Structure 1
Amino acid sequence: CNVASGSALLRDEALVADILEAVVNAVAVPVTLKTRTGWDAESRNALRIAKLAEASGIQALTLHGRTRDDRFTGHAEYRTIAEVKAGISIPVIANGDIDSADKARAVLAETGADAVMVGRAARGRPWLLGQIAARLAGRDIADPALDTIHTLIRDHLVAMHAFYGDAHGVRIARKHIGWYLDALPFAVSNTQRQQINRAVD
Structure 2
Amino acid sequence: MSGEAELTGVAGWAVNLMETLGGPGAGLAIAAENLFPPIPSEVILPLAGFTASQGSFTLAEAIIWTTVGSVVGAYALYFLGVLLGRDRLRAIWDRLPLVKISDLDKTEAWFSKHGKKTVFFGRMIPIFRSLISIPAGIERMPPLIFGGLTLAGSLIWNSIFVLAGYYLGENWESVEPYADGFQKVVIVVVVVLVAWWVVHRVRENAGAKGSSA
- Work out whether the TM-score is over 0.5: no
Of Structure 1 and Structure 2, the greater helix share is in: 2
Superposition TM-score tier, normalisation by shorter sequence: under 0.3
Q: Hey, which of these two has a bigger chunk of strand by percent?
A: 1
TM-score, length of structure 2 as denominator length? 0.26
TM normalised by structure 1 equals 0.27
- Bigger RCO (CA 8 Å, 6+ sep): 2
